[in-house]
Amino acid sequence: MTKRIIVSNSEVSDFMKCERLWYYKYFKELTPIGNTSEALAYGNYGHDWLYRYYRTLASGANTVMAMAEANNVLRELQKSRDMSSEFLVHLMTIMVMYVTNHPYQNMKIIGVEQKEKTILYHDTIHDTEVYLGIKYDLLLQGTEGKQADKFILVDHKFKYSFISPEASAMNAQLPKYIYVLRQNGYNVETAMFNQLRYRKMDDDNPKNQRFHRLSITPTDNEISEAINDHITVASRIIDLRETSHDVGKIVTRSRDYRDCENCPFFSICLAQAKGKQTEALRTVQAFFRVGGNKYIDDYKELLND
């Protein structure tokens, strides 16, 4: 029977950064217990806050009701005592400042954290249909003026420093997302990184900028290049999954300090690189669980749609 598999942009991006990172995260499905970094905590809870805010707005509520609903994310965190009160107050301040000062003008909400997929190719060697799956943050449609009826894709990024326009032009994520949405009937031309800086700074200082929306309008050529690269890497991932009996012995380590210093699998990887298998196993048992990565699970769910 023909198999179906989703290969997401994040999986390809992680594989290109370090095959061994891909192996721990997507093949062994190891998930760190708790937040591994401040950046991840702002990203995770900030996204949850914005999800509830825009979902409530989309249901017809006003901004005050949407903010109250979104703040429940922080109340739940406070109860679970997962994060310090300083973190919670700082995050709430950023979120309220953001939605108060940066509403989307003349736009209606089409979707909030929706999953979409499209088939990329049929791998005849492994009899597998390969799909690109996405979960976008926000899809808007213009209601007036030049933007009337146009779709705009929004991707929230919680950043310490803003992404430069040059770097964003090389990023493959948004062109791939645009491709999937177009295949599914949304003629998106423009997408944006909606950046929120989480670092502590004086917001009253006019030199400081807390929020910045960086738009890109990729050409058809840029989109097809991004998809072609994705297919090349996806086919290597599928070969590894389908034909290798001992994937852990084949995958390479990047061993580049820029990748390794923030890698959630650093301690396992280092122990294994030193041949200390028992120490690696103890680390896995103490600090990781198998499965439960909501992003990976989301893509698996897409196959049931």
Q: Catalog residues that contact ligand SF4 under the rule CB under 6 A.
A: 18, 20-21, 253-255, 259-260, 263, 265-266, 269
- The nearest distance, CB 154 to ligand SF4, in angstroms, is 29
Question: Whole-angstrom Cα distance, residue 123 to residue 119?
Answer: 11
Q: 23 or 54: whose CB is closer to ligand SF4?
A: 23
- The nearest distance, CB 12 to ligand SF4, in angstroms, is 15
Q: Are 136 and 113 in contact (CB under 8 A)?
A: yes
- The nearest distance, CB 13 to ligand SF4, in angstroms, is 13
Q: 18 or 238: whose CB is closer to ligand SF4?
A: 18
Q: 23 or 45: whose CB is closer to ligand SF4?
A: 23
Q: 187 or 262: whose CB is closer to ligand SF4?
A: 262
Q: 16 or 61: whose CB is closer to ligand SF4?
A: 16
> What is the three-class DSSP state of 119?
strand
What is the amino acid identity at position 244?
Answer: S
> What is the three-class DSSP state of 166?
helix
Q: 27 or 211: whose CB is closer to ligand SF4?
A: 27
Closest Cα partner for 49 from 115, 97, 116, 8? 97
Q: What is the 3-state secondary structure (H, E, C) of 102-116?
A: CCCCCEEEEEECCEE
Cα 117-113-293 angle, rounded to 5 deg: 80
- The nearest distance, CB 280 to ligand SF4, in angstroms, is 11
Question: Whole-angstrom Cα distance, residue 167 to residue 187?
Answer: 25
3-state helix, strand, coil split of the chain in percent (to 5) is: 50, 20, 30
What is the amino acid identity at position 206?
Answer: P
Closest Cα partner for 272 from 250, 290, 248? 248
- The nearest distance, CB 249 to ligand SF4, in angstroms, is 14
- The nearest distance, CB 19 to ligand SF4, in angstroms, is 8
